[in-house]
């Protein structure tokens, strides 16, 4: 008997016992649904975390000098470090953050302004769509100019902001540049931003010292070396490591990714338990099926069916039950993952790899747990089988 006939007989057996077949597949469906949905959600969360770090700058090393320190790290010292190691450091910028009330006539809103140097926008890969970036002259001469995001441009000026004057905490600034839109111009998003010369931001904060810097490595492979150079510089300039912090964003990103990966593995392992239970369920049902169809097996053997024919029939039937459950589980799991992603405001797309692996595992479970009942059926003596009542 060829495989096609075995396949047709397996389909006929499954359709003749629809309720039992569905209950048998239920464990596989639940297991595959859990695996697909959890893997998809965790993968999307990992991508979201990596995207956030990419926006900040995965190759950035942040320096923060404590206010209680009586020593300071000057911008000239950090720039000198970058100039001395161009093969390691791509550039640097002070980052002076200040809360700002933005006004244009009667229109006003609250935002955050960041004082930076002329290199910062390029280092962070922020593109100016209209106008220009900040320049060295702007920084050196403390010129009251700024570059703003599209959210500020739309909310305060209705979109036409270039060349206009806005008041930031009571001080007028000319808008010389507008950045490309990145985050649908939403409040609190990437487009809700203002960049101005750090020399002005320092003065506005009434603080003569710059306490925060962003230093960008040449590439991700140079982050660790960049961090070492910065620590040496800070140790020389400030001395006590309790008075400064050096943070490599790549190290944080790697740690978060590792934690999410471990969580994903644990969740999948827990979900996989249901697949083992489902496999045992398939084996039990197939054993019941062998018992019910003992006379049928005896008749087929007496008509010339060989052991491999009987074995193939029951293994294919178990495999079909498992594969069909796997397909349903993949569909339900994918829909569940997309729905959960929408609620969590995540872009969730089940990966091709997870779908292929899930289907393969479900097929293997069916075959593995179907072999024992199939071997029992194939080993039946035709005379004893025909006498079975």
pLDDT band of 259, cuts 50, 70, 90:
confident
Closest by Cα among 331, 268, 277 to 23: 277
pTM for the whole thing?
0.68
Question: How is the beta sheet containing 244-248 ordered, strand by strand?
Answer: 89-94, 212-217, 60-65, 244-248
Write the pLDDT tens digit of every residue in 278-306.
888 888 888 777 777 777 777 777 777 77
Closest by Cα among 379, 380, 374, 365 to 313: 374
Write the pLDDT tens digit of every residue in 59-85.
899 999 887 767 788 899 999 999 999
Write the pLDDT tens digit of every residue in 159-174.
788 988 888 888 889 9
In this prediction, residue 145 carries a pLDDT of 94
Pairing of strands 244-248, 60-65: antiparallel
- Please give the Cα distance from 384 to 26 (Å, whole number): 34
- Please give the Cα distance from 290 to 303 (Å, whole number): 18
Write the pLDDT tens digit of every residue in 182-233.
877 777 778 888 999 999 888 877 766 788 999 999 888 899 999 999 999 9
pLDDT at 30 over 90: no
Question: Would you say 178 and 161 are in contact if contact means Cβ atoms under 8 Å apart?
Answer: yes
């Amino acid at each position: 008997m060829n495989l096609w006939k075995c396949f047709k007989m397996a389909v006929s057996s499954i359709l003749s016992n629809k309720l039992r077949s569905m209950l048998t597949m239920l464990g596989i469906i639940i297991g595959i649904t859990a695996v697909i949905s959890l893997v998809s959600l965790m993968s999307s969360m990992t991508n979201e975390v990596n995207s956030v770090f990419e926006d900040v700058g995965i190759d950035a090393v942040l320096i923060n000098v404590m206010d209680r320190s009586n020593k300071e790290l000057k911008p000239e010292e950090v720039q000198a470090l970058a100039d001395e190691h161009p093969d390691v450091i791509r550039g640097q910028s002070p980052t002076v953050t200040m809360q700002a009330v933005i006004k244009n006539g009667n229109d006003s809103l609250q935002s955050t302004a960041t004082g930076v140097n002329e290199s910062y926008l390029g280092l962070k890969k922020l593109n100016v769509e209209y106008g220009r970036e900040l320049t060295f002259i702007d920084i050196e001469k403390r010129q009251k100019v700024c570059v703003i995001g599209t959210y500020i441009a739309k909310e305060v000026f209705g979109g036409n902001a270039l060349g206009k004057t806005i008041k930031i905490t009571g001080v007028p600034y000319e808008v010389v540049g507008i950045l490309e839109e990145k985050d649908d111009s939403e409040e609190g998003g990437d487009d809700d931003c203002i960049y101005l010369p750090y020399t002005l931001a320092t003065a506005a904060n009434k603080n003569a010292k710059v306490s925060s810097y962003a230093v960008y490595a040449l590439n991700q492979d140079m982050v660790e070396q960049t961090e070492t150079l910065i620590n040496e510089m800070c140790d020389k300039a400030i001395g006590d490591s309790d008075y400064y912090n050096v943070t490599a964003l790549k190290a944080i990103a790697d740690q978060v990714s590792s934690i999410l990966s471990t969580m994903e593995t644990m969740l999948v392992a827990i979900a996989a338990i249901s697949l083992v239970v489902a496999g045992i369920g398939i084996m039990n049902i197939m054993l019941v099926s062998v018992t019910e169809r003992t006379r049928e097996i005896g008749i087929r053997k007496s008509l010339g069916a060989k052991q491999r024919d009987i074995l193939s029939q029951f293994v294919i039937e178990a495999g079909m039950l498992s594969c069909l459950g796997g397909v349903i589980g993949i569909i339900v799991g994918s829909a569940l993952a997309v729905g959960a992603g929408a609620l969590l405001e995540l872009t969730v797309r089940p990966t091709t790899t997870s779908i292929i692996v899930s289907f393969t595992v479900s097929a293997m479970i069916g075959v593995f747990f179907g072999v024992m009942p199939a071997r029992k059926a194939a080993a039946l003596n035709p005379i004893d089988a025909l006498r079975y009542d």
